[in-house]
Amino acid sequence: MPELVFFSGTMDCGKSTLALQIEHNRSARGLAGIIFTRDDRAGEGKLSSRLGLVTDAVEVEDGQDLYAHVVGHLSQGGRADYVIADEAQFLAPEQIDQLARVVDDLDIDVYAFGITTDFRSKLFPGSQRLVELADRVEVLQVEALCWCGARATHNARTIGGVMVVEGAQVVVGDVTQSSDEVGYEVLCRRHHRRRMTAASARAAALSPDVLPIGTA
Ligand X SMILES: Nc1ncnc2c1ncn2[C@@H]1O[C@H](COP(=O)(O)OP(=O)(O)O)[C@@H](O)[C@H]1O
Interacting residues toward ligand X by CB under 6 A: 9, 11-17, 49-51, 142, 144
170 is in an annotated binding site: yes
Closest to 120 measured CA to CA, from 166, 170, 181: 166
Chosen from ligand X, ligand LXEULUCI, none, partner binding at 184 (C-beta under 5 to 8 Å by type): ligand LXEULUCI
Residue 171 annotated as lining a ligand binding site: yes
Instruction: Name every residue whose Cβ is closer than 8 Å to that of residue 105 and which is 6 or more positions away in sequence.
Output: 67
Q: Which is nearer to ligand LXEULUCI, 49 or 98 (CB)?
A: 49
Distance of CA 92 to the CA centre of its chain: 14
Chain positions contacting ligand LXEULUCI, by CB under 6 A = 11-12, 15-16, 41, 115, 118-119, 155, 157, 169-173, 184
Catalytic residue numbers?
Answer: 87
CA angle 193, 39, 70 (to 5 degrees): 120
| Residue 115 beta carbon to ligand X: minimum distance, rounded to whole angstroms | 8
Residue 185 binding target from ligand X, ligand LXEULUCI, none, CB below 5 to 8 Å by type: none
Of 15, 17, 24, nearest to 112 by C-alpha is: 15
Minimum CB separation of residue 215 from ligand LXEULUCI in Å reads 41
Among ligand LXEULUCI, ligand X, none, residue 51 binds (CB under 5-8 Å by kind): ligand X
Q: Do residues 102 and 67 touch, judged by C-beta distance below 8 A?
A: yes
Beta bridge partners of 185: 156
- 3-class DSSP assignment, residue 183: strand
**Annotated binding site for ATP: which residue ranges?**
9-16, 86-89
